[in-house]
Structure 1
């Protein structure tokens, strides 16, 4: 198989995983993933990302509580029929995943000396998302699943994890070996949404 075919296979398999096996990922492998993530491009070489391992049961429980409140609020805002379909979705691997990783972005890093940020300061956040994606692909290449829990109130999570005030919460990742392997998104398999052809076509001007 060619290098490009292998890479495309990783892209295809890279799913937002919600169902995990209980066995942990080796510490050395987790460290490898962090080192690969740090190869991501960043504006002005600012490297604004900060990856935090959340191992404390107490802190994990706090995040679960924030998720439960955020999910309840989301359900309350939906029409009854839509809410019923939404409630059937397993929207987090918080109970099953052996590893929890919170990712933050330094709001105004000294590193990089502001290069490329004067007119678009949000590029530091985009750089952090690039690091998350790099982590995700590196994990997929090793048969490890990642799930991004986005139904969370950012400031509540930041306080629960006692991160510095200058760190902006970006992502809460569930990490572990997936219980199943799929090359299509779970939301597509459950009939929640379908891929659109317009997203695979050039917009021309």
Structure 2
């Protein structure tokens, strides 16, 4: 009976026994410049500003993440505050590559009573191409109350100067033609 119980316990733990791919860290803080280009949507409501993002591993396969950005919409007095907080699961699919899934609560506030609460889900891969270069590609969906949902793709890369310091760049392509990008220094720990 004890052997059966031990075998069942080990079998149940197999999905959680893997660790993050070699060279990929889910512990970081980054900050930098962000821009949204909406010219492809016909509105010409481009915006730019700053953002801060972070992630922390709570065990080898699960992490929490969050971010905040503040952008000013060009040629207006409107500022847009946007933040997200969520959790992710990563599973090593080879020694240098992780399968990643994320779910997040999203919120934005443009002032003047224009705000929204919503969620996003995304899945993709993240891996260490070389010891100093990490890249990722994600597909996702986000939806806010009172606004139509939207599919998007996200690609990004981090160039690492050493195990702690690097530069991260991220581009998000939304289904409606909106493009958002970020670039800034990253501190990994």
TM band (smaller chain):
under 0.3
Instruction: Give the TM-score normalised by structure 2.
Output: 0.24
Q: Select the structure with the greater relative contact order (CA < 8 A; seq sep ≥ 6).
A: 1
- Greater helix content: 1
